[in-house]
Structure 1
Amino acid sequence: MTKNSLLITIDSVRLDVLSDDSFPIISTLRDNGDDFGKTFATGPGTTPSFPAMLTGTMPLSYGGLGPLTEERPLLSHRQRQAGYTTGGFQCNPFLSRHFNYDVGFERFEDYQNPLMGIATKVFPRGVEINNPKLRRIDETLHITDFIKKTYQLIKGKPRPYVSADVITNDAIDWLAETESPFFGWVHYMDVHHPCFPPETYRKQYGVADVTQTEVSEWYSDLLRNPETLTEEEIHKLKQLYKAAIDYTLEQIARIITHLKESGRYEETLIILTSDHGELFGEFDQYGKPERMYDELLRVPLIVSNGPPYLEEATDQLVSLLDIPPLIHDTLNLEIPSGYEGQIPGKDAPRKYIMAEHEVEGDIIVGARSEEWLYEGDEIHNEHRLFDLRKGKFEQVSVSEHPEAEEVKSAVLDRLDTLDVDAHDFVDAVDNDVESRLENLGYL
């Protein structure tokens, strides 16, 4: 009988890097569960992806990107209401208590220097100002350079993320002192660039000589001026990415070992996934552009100790939206009406998945079926249709393919529904920013 649930997420992991059996913990989880090879995130980044996994809702619903609103049906809150002990462990500033991701967790560790949560709330895409209102704020307060320097100074790291072993240690300590039933969430940032795993793993992948400074500089150039990097430097970045995945998976293995040794493994629903992928030169792009490519949206999803009906859906289209209702159904809990996902293997197979993102109030929405991908891109004022049949990825004329009308209509309907609601978040930040900066000693 399943008593507990544990959601394990790794930032920035593409599906294809876990496609083989070279990672022991992946093989272990697959042997005891179901591997969904057609799982898609709800957006090409952390902020448009995590609302799906932790609230069961699309990212641009409920006011759009930014702090989670009270109206969203939080998975953690519902679990706690049902009598489960809840714990969350993560160090991504966008998922911190400043974005309300702590709500519903009795114990929540986000390892944030207070500045970092505020900085990412003031600058929703990190420390880059991509909104006219925020630019006007910065013209008056002149804090951008200060925040960027602070990113570099915290613990001497290029980015303020604690390593996977710290998160694993705390998660295991929490599990050891927590009785069933429980709901836990553990998120790792080590695969997020700039990657710099421990030396042991860098040696295994032939990049032990690379310095932290080089990694940070290379990744910055990769996003802004990739033509300046040599093939060797790009190769080393790829090796560091793989090494970081290897390191993170071995830390996850420690959690699984603890559950087995404490006799709770078989009674715990374990879900392993990622929030998005990463481009390494595909389509002549790098990082996480606002597009709906498979390399960005297609992520691993392995569910261990899940219900038998999951086996029927391993070859079906699955969305990260489906995680909250799956957890509720597995634990025999009532599924909130606000969840927008469905239960793989129990509900009818999806005809397509949806994904979306927003930049400066402009939206891109994608719908992907087995055969077609349609992008309604208001960021670049383009609508695009891609033919995916027979393994192709070919842009084709929208007017010449009426058989793709279903995905096109889904995108257009979503764009009409949204009507650029995401402006609300900017207004909220504008009204609050001065007092927050004063509290941090800026003013």
Structure 2
Amino acid sequence: MMNRTAPADELDNIIVLSADSLRFDRVHESRNGEPLTPNIDELAKQSLEFNPGVAPGPSTRDTIPSMLTGMYPSEFDEYGLPKSGTGPLTLAEELQDRGFETAALSHNNFTSRRYNINRGFDFFDDVSEEARKENNRGAWRLYVRDLIEDTPLMNLAGRTNTLAMEYLGRSLFMRNEAAEGITNRALDWMEENNSKRFLWMHFMDTHHPYLSPKRIQEKFGGTYSKKYIKQLSQKTRSGQNQITEEDIPEMEFVYDCTVRYVDEQIGRILDQLRSEGELENSLVVITADHGEGFGEFGKFGHADELWDTLVAVPLIVYHPDHPAKSVDGQAPLRLLRDTLIDGTGLFDLTDSGADHVYVETPDYRDELRGVRGQEYKIIDRSDEQLATRLGNGDEEIIPVDQVPDDERERLKEELEVDLQKTRVASDVDHREFQKDLAALGYLEE
């Protein structure tokens, strides 16, 4: 019988390391004889690992509020979290109440304080003007963008940015800091805080445009300039019809290099815990907010679809007192809060995983729901349903009537989730939201 004590009550360090757009099938893999994730692989040998983890939805906007609260994406009436002082409590707030010092570092615009993602964090390093000023990270860009908002110059800047990405490989909007920078600041925070600590890091390098140091690329047998990588990435957003068969292997190559780069930075966090003698007093989670498409089902990047390439993610939980096990079954990332706070959640699924996992894009954005079983998946978009068969890491679209009768009925039953609405009441207006889309490279949305 597994120890049922909650990690929040028995351990002094809780570390959640998530990588944006990290596909499940990139962990434990290699390229040109070099492993993509040597540090993650080593930790997984001592951990509980699900095959796969399942994100609650196919984008950051779906997963992050769900991961921090345990709620489904559609239980919020718009993107973000309610303001502090209202329910539900976030994972950071619950740990803060238990005496943890709390820190988060993420440069995804949709994990910023603008959307109240900072609730419960003592130290919050995001893309906001406040954080950029503190760390000298180009606050002037925000000032310039605010200055030209609602003027013809903003439209011109958007068109110029697309041309700059296509022909020069440079962006007026995107300035995400590489993983090494936020890891440096995370390590500084760890050294300054010796009490109980909760650290959440969200790495952006595995998100397009897939930039990594040349030393990483050289490990896998080739190098590309930043200009070329950005030009290649831009096709996924403004010219998918221009993507050639030759482009796809190059996209996957530069993506795999970012996977190795993020793994390297994760290794630095783990090494810090080891050097402190704290790894054996720590729970460490490694996961992702969603996956990434490289042409499967005609999809590049990520958007409102529920294919496994977009919702199947790594999910590794290291607990020093729990036996290591690779579970041949799925588990929902949504259960992270219950796992850390109550000692239930993922720890209840160690035998064979969850029979069924509900996934969706929230109803305020689209009408798309799905249920992933162990062998089949049902996807429901308004009045249209389709099914897929899962196996050996592949997913194949099949007629719904090819799903065995009993399983088909169970999958359809699991589509009917009782959602209790929570009002976000965000102060973010449409223009600010569009700025965040632009900053992440989604200029066509």
TM-score by length of 1: 0.79
User: Match for residue 80 of structure 1?
Assistant: 96
User: Match for residue 172 of structure 1?
Assistant: 187
Helix, strand or coil at the partner of 2:209:
coil
- The change in CA–CA distance for 1:17 and 1:107 in structure 2 (over 3 A counts) is same
- The change in CA–CA distance for 1:346 and 1:219 in structure 2 (over 3 A counts) is closer
Spell out, residue by residue over 1:190-249, the C-alpha distance to the aligned partner (whole angstroms, 9 max, x if none). Answer: 1100011112112333442x3333322322223443342333332222111011111111
- The change in CA–CA distance for 1:189 and 1:431 in structure 2 (over 3 A counts) is closer
Q: Does 1:241 align with 2:261?
A: no
> Larger deviation: 157-166 or 368-377?
157-166
Contact conserved, 1:321 with 1:342, CA < 8 A, in 2? no
Q: Which runs of 5+ in 2 are unaligned?
A: 1-9, 133-148, 436-445
Number of aligned positions between the proteins:
397
1:361-400 to 2 correspondences below 5 Å: 361-378=365-382, 381-388=383-390, 393-398=396-401
CA positional deviation for 1:145:
4.8
Q: Does 1:16 align with 2:19?
A: no
Q: Which runs of 5+ in 1 are unaligned?
A: 117-137, 336-340, 437-443
Contact conserved, 2:73 with 2:362, CA < 8 A, in 1? no
Query: Which amino acid in 2 is paired with 1:271?
Result: V
Contact conserved, 2:16 with 2:199, CA < 8 A, in 1? yes
1:361-440 to 2 correspondences below 5 Å: 361-378=365-382, 381-388=383-390, 393-398=396-401, 401-403=404-406, 404-411=408-415, 413-414=416-417, 417=419, 429-430=428-429
Distance in 2, matches of 1:59 and 1:365, equals 11
Helix, strand or coil at the partner of 1:277:
coil
Query: Which amino acid in 2 is paired with 1:314?
Result: V
Q: Does 1:315 align with 2:328?
A: yes
Distance in 2, matches of 1:145 and 1:162, equals 25
Contact conserved, 1:352 with 1:369, CA < 8 A, in 2? yes
Q: Does 1:305 align with 2:319?
A: yes
Q: 2:348 aligns with which of 323, 344, 350?
A: 344
State the Cα RMSD in Å: 3.6
Greater relative contact order (CA < 8 Å, ≥ 6 in sequence): 2
CA positional deviation for 1:189:
0.3
Contact conserved, 1:207 with 1:236, CA < 8 A, in 2? no
User: Match for residue 198 of structure 1?
Assistant: 213
CA positional deviation for 1:146:
4.0
Distance in 1, matches of 2:159 and 2:115, equals 20
Contact conserved, 2:290 with 2:313, CA < 8 A, in 1? yes
Q: 1:58 aligns with which of 64, 68, 72?
A: 72
- The change in CA–CA distance for 1:71 and 1:348 in structure 2 (over 3 A counts) is farther
CA positional deviation for 1:355:
0.9
- The change in CA–CA distance for 1:328 and 1:66 in structure 2 (over 3 A counts) is closer
Contact conserved, 2:56 with 2:360, CA < 8 A, in 1? yes
CA positional deviation for 1:284:
2.3
Distance in 1, matches of 2:45 and 2:357, equals 27
CA positional deviation for 1:251:
1.1
Distance in 1, matches of 2:92 and 2:334, equals 15
- The change in CA–CA distance for 1:281 and 1:431 in structure 2 (over 3 A counts) is closer
Contact conserved, 1:310 with 1:345, CA < 8 A, in 2? no
Helix, strand or coil at the partner of 1:35:
strand
Distance in 1, matches of 2:240 and 2:370, equals 26
CA positional deviation for 1:321:
1.0
Contact conserved, 1:310 with 1:346, CA < 8 A, in 2? no
Percent identity, aligned pairs only? 26
User: Match for residue 135 of structure 1?
Assistant: none
